[in-house]
Amino acid sequence: MASATTNKTFCRICEASCGLVATVENNRVTSLAPNKEHHGTLGFSCMKGLHQHSMYDSPDRLQTPLKRVGDSFEAISWQQALREIGDKVKALRDVSPQSIGMYVGTAAGFSILHPIFAEGFMQGLGSHNIYSSSTQDCANRFAAAKEMYGFPFFQPFVDLDHVECMLIVGTNPVVSKWTFLQVAHPVKRMKQVLARGGRIIVVDPRYTETAKVAGEHQYIKPNTDVFFFLSFLAEIFARNACDTATVQQHSTGLEELREVAAAWPAERTAPVTGISPENLRELVSTFLEANGAAIVTGTGLGMGQDGTLAQWLAECINAVSGNLDRRGGTLVGEGIFDFAGFAKKNGMFMRKARSRIGNFRELNGAFPGGILADEILTPGKDQIKAMFVTGGNPLLTMANSTRLREALQSLELLVVTDIYLNETASVADYVLPATSPLERPDLPFIFPLFLGMQSIPYIAATEALVEPTGEQRDEATIYTDLATACGIGLFGSTLTQRLLRFLKGANKVFHPRSRPGLPQKLLLDLILRSSGNGSWRSLLQFPEGKPREQVAPGSFLGKRPITDDGKVALAPAEFVAATGALESRFAEYAQAQESGVMRLISKRAHSTHNSWTQNIDALTNGDHNRTNYLYLHPADGQRLGLAEGDAADIRSATAAIRLPVKLLEELMPGTVAVPHGWGHQHASGLGVASQLAGANVNILASDGPGNIEPLSGMAHLSGIPVEVTAAAGPVNRASWSGC
Ligand SMILES: Nc1nc2c(c(=O)[nH]1)N[C@H]1C(S)=C(S)[C@@H](COP(=O)(O)OP(=O)(O)OC[C@H]3O[C@@H](n4cnc5c(=O)[nH]c(N)nc54)[C@H](O)[C@@H]3O)O[C@H]1N2
Ligand SMILES: Nc1nc2c(c(=O)[nH]1)N[C@H]1C(S)=C(S)[C@@H](COP(=O)(O)OP(=O)(O)OC[C@H]3O[C@@H](n4cnc5c(=O)[nH]c(N)nc54)[C@H](O)[C@@H]3O)O[C@H]1N2
Ligand code: SF4
Ligand SMILES: [Mo]
């Protein structure tokens, strides 16, 4: 029997990228522990990360390619899968390359090669019909940054080591482990801010886990941040607290911004936001008096109806208060190479392509997920007839999943690449088994590596810890092989395709006992070397991460923005024009509040990760008790005649679900919450998850061109108007996916 070895690696589930120590026995990871010596992640890890090996070791793990035969799947060889998929794609592509689409999910983002090769495949096909999970979480930030800084990936982040006042709006870092910044151990980092006299104020419709650590909290009604920020700005301007000369040196549009904000004084917005003028003024004073302050935002903002405008205004507050690019304010990271310069030189990220349905602009190469069902179901030239889904589970995570299910089922070809036969794969024609993170070598994902979005900068590399146990392949190999089968060159280059095939062949010669595949380490080595960061082998000498310097304050303004004039655009014409529609939105919200409309928000939990951890028993027991819940304020419960454990129907414009009630004092009355990522009852390959209760909350969200935030393409997944009533019957299997 082989003896156990201890290997250092890092987690690839969320942005914290925690350093881990794995025990490996007989080609199995038998335990994972936090790496206490890790330079960047401070010995932190969470229960999801520490249990992940049971997800990869599960008897439900996909082992071979599968083909749908009638209502079930049969195992087939890679050769057969590739040949049959290739033949179908060739026939469709001959008629229209755009008839082939792709959805790139979150898991793809946590590997370096996966998204590059998947998108290279689409480029080779000549199709721009790419969708990604970014219009479910963060496209609003990309849209705002593109207009303001010229580059969607300039994402200023808080200077956590020096900030004195942090306003946390629409994000819950204690549970999510931060977003758009790598911060392992958020509680510790927040306590450090508090210990040096800093203040952290959470603005959220729920008194969150983060608010409890921060000690200060302001309730806000869902989807009204845009009005809160407008009043915040109006107040800054009214106090003449903006250093006009300095701001004008590095930005344009200050006067227009002032004009926009002037229409929204605190007295006006208070009834809609729920933030009294006194409280708002107090927040502004605290923010302005701090020697270094930042507004930190997240998906609570982005999933609302005006996520791009809200994000833009948050960035403007940071900028006009002199906190952008300032010590203790926000910094703009620098990755291992000049991504912005590269993009500018190559004319990337120009948002040129338009969608067939709704005429939406792409953003970072992707169209709004909310039009995907329409693109599939609407006949005509370029109608989508085949889809590749990679590292995502859109049937549980996108808006109006019921309609999307119909659409996916109507396709001529659906190919899903995943580690599980998940909800989406269960309706696929072919399912391709991917290697798990622990089975592949990697570099940290794109945000830290290419953009330097790290509170403690470092770079790191990890070897694969174990070999796949079945026929699983890494996604770089899968998309290279698919390109060969479809008769195209990855990235539209036959030369690249030939080179990749050669590398794959050579890999087989040098490593005859390994599975057929690309030499991933060689590709990662190339990324490192071409960016002047040494070799793969040299980086492996730093299992605790190789420290990098934090970007210096003052390094951004006047130097790095890639807008035409090199200045920060505080009032992009498109955004200013869009504020016109806020008048009717404001009236609509005021009216809805008067009529007592309840709004539904999300609620993440420590133990679940979107839809992918529900097949691990240990992560769905405990608090969850194997279901998600409708969380309701006790006062609302009393008004509606609903007590803890009662069954409630939650009805939106699209559908209804039935869930047990949990009363939650933390919620703002009038706001209800349901965790997303549940409702796996149709996932034929998930032995544990498919037996859980719980409902897919996203059947309550609307899709279609009229239900999309037009500036970024974001779906509207938070702040959904709902009606809650006591259910006529119990919560049972029939009510899991609608009632
Ligand atoms: N109502 C509501 N809806 C939401 C949200 C919300 O807060 N509320 N949050 C949204 C957010 S933030 C996001 S990012 C999206 C997520 O949307 P998706 O990306 O569509 O969904 P995930 O559940 O993250 O699915 C990830 C899939 O990747 C698979 N996977 C894991 N590791 C690997 C791997 O190494 N390779 C491959 N090929 N597959 C792998 C998992 O098995 C899982 O099926 O949905 C969102 N939808
Ligand atoms: N444990 C765990 N960690 C995760 C994930 C997970 O599923 N589980 N998912 C990962 C992914 S893919 C992402 S993108 C990140 C997301 O990370 P975050 O953006 O931090 O996401 P949430 O934790 O859902 O926090 C959103 C907060 O917004 C609040 N909110 C809702 N609506 C509004 C509103 O209109 N205005 C304001 N001001 N607040 C509002 C909610 O109450 C909630 O506290 O988390 C990542 N980390
Ligand atoms: S916080 Fe948890 S899931 Fe995220 S990287 Fe760390 S261990 Fe992994
Ligand atoms: Mo996300």
Q: Across residues 383-388, what is the average pLDDT?
A: 98
Range of the domain at 25: 5-50
Do 183 and 117 have their domain in common? no
CATH number for the domain including 666?
A: 2.40.40.20
Confidence class of residue 623 from pLDDT cuts 50, 70 and 90?
low
Residues flanking ligand 2, CB < 6 Å: 14, 106, 137, 169-173, 175-177, 179, 203-206, 208, 220, 222-223, 225, 298-301, 304, 601-602, 604, 606, 608-610, 718-719
Task: Give the per-residue pLDDT at 625.
Answer: 80
Do 697 and 601 have their domain in common? yes
Instruction: Give the number of domains in the chain.
Output: 4
CATH number for the domain including 292?
A: 3.40.228.10
For residues 202, 42, 335, 497, the Cα torsion angle rounded to the nearest 10 degrees is -110
Do 180 and 313 have their domain in common? yes
Region of residue 704 (phi > 0: left; psi between -120 and 50: alpha; otherwise: beta) = left
- The candidate with the shortest Cα–Cα distance to 667, out of 274, 324, 249, is 274
Region of residue 480 (phi > 0: left; psi between -120 and 50: alpha; otherwise: beta) = alpha
- The candidate with the shortest Cα–Cα distance to 389, out of 376, 402, 378, is 376
Q: Is 571 close to ligand 3, i.e. is its CB under 6 Å away?
A: no
Distance 17 CA to ligand 3 centre (A): 6
Do 312 and 391 have their domain in common? no
- 328-380 pLDDT per residue, tens: 999 999 999 999 999 999 999 999 999 999 999 999 999 999 999 999 999 99
CATH number for the domain including 44?
A: 2.20.25
**Ligand 3 closest atom vs CA 10:** 5
Q: Across residues 286-292, what is the average pLDDT?
A: 98
Do 117 and 250 have their domain in common? no
Distance 173 CA to ligand 2 centre (A): 8
CATH number for the domain including 102?
A: 3.40.50.740
| 500 in any annotated domain | yes
Do 43 and 76 have their domain in common? no
Distance 383 CA to ligand 1 centre (A): 25
Do 275 and 396 have their domain in common? no
Do 326 and 256 have their domain in common? yes
Do 309 and 372 have their domain in common? no
pTM of the model: 0.97
Do 625 and 682 have their domain in common? yes
Distance (Å) of CA 261 to CA 99, 108, 304? 44, 39, 20
Distance 30 CA to ligand 3 centre (A): 18
Confidence class of residue 735 from pLDDT cuts 50, 70 and 90?
low
Do 46 and 75 have their domain in common? no
| 532 in any annotated domain | no
| Residue 325 confidence (pLDDT) above 70 | yes
- The residue to mutate among 228, 601, 616, 631, having the most atoms of ligand 2 within 8 angstroms of its beta carbon, is 601
- The C-alpha angle with vertex 566 and arms to 565 and 568, in degrees rounded to 5, equals 100
Distance 664 CA to ligand 1 centre (A): 26
- 20-51 pLDDT per residue, tens: 999 999 999 999 999 999 999 999 999 999 99
Residue nearest to atom 11 of ligand 1 (CA): 137
| 342 in any annotated domain | no
Do 191 and 309 have their domain in common? yes
| 737 in any annotated domain | no
Sign of CA dihedral 416, 421, 423, 426: positive
- Which alpha helices (DSSP H) does 71-183 contain, by range? 78-95, 106-109, 113-125, 134-137, 139-149, 173-176
Q: Which helix (H) or strand (E) holds 480?
A: helix 475-485
